[in-house]
Amino acid sequence: MTITYHVVPHEDGWAYRLDDVFSETFPSHAAALAAAHSAAARHEASGEDRFIAYQTPDGRWRHEVAAGRDRPDTEVADSAGTAGDEG
């Protein structure tokens, strides 16, 4: 699975967006692009296995182990015309 961070104009500045969620607004394109690359790299970073619990749509609780090495590939797409792969 690959997820894409999009660098876009936002609220009189620039931000990065993942799906329909925006980051804070940055004063420059370069700052937003750097922040998007940083977020993408952190998203790929492996961590420790963790026990997690979550509720399913039918209201049941599930308990399982989330593997810290099970991370998505990420990329950064830049609306200003450049793009860079992170993974």
Task: Let me know if 43 is exposed, middle or buried by CB neighbors in 10 A (0-12, 13-18, 19+).
Answer: middle
The yes-or-no verdict on residue 55 having pLDDT over 90 is yes
Nearby residues of 86 by Cβ (< 8 Å), 6 or more positions away: 37, 40, 41, 44, 73, 74, 75, 76
With 0.85 as the threshold, say if the pTM is over it: no
The helix or strand, by DSSP H or E, that contains position 49, with its residue range, turns out to be none
pLDDT single digits (tens) 8-48: 999 999 999 999 999 999 999 999 999 999 999 988 888 88
pLDDT for residue 56:
93
Query: Is residue 85 within 8 Å of residue 39, measured between CB atoms?
Result: no
Mean pLDDT, all residues of the chain: 89
Residue 46 belongs to domain spanning:
2-85
Considering its fold, how many domains does the chain have in total? 1
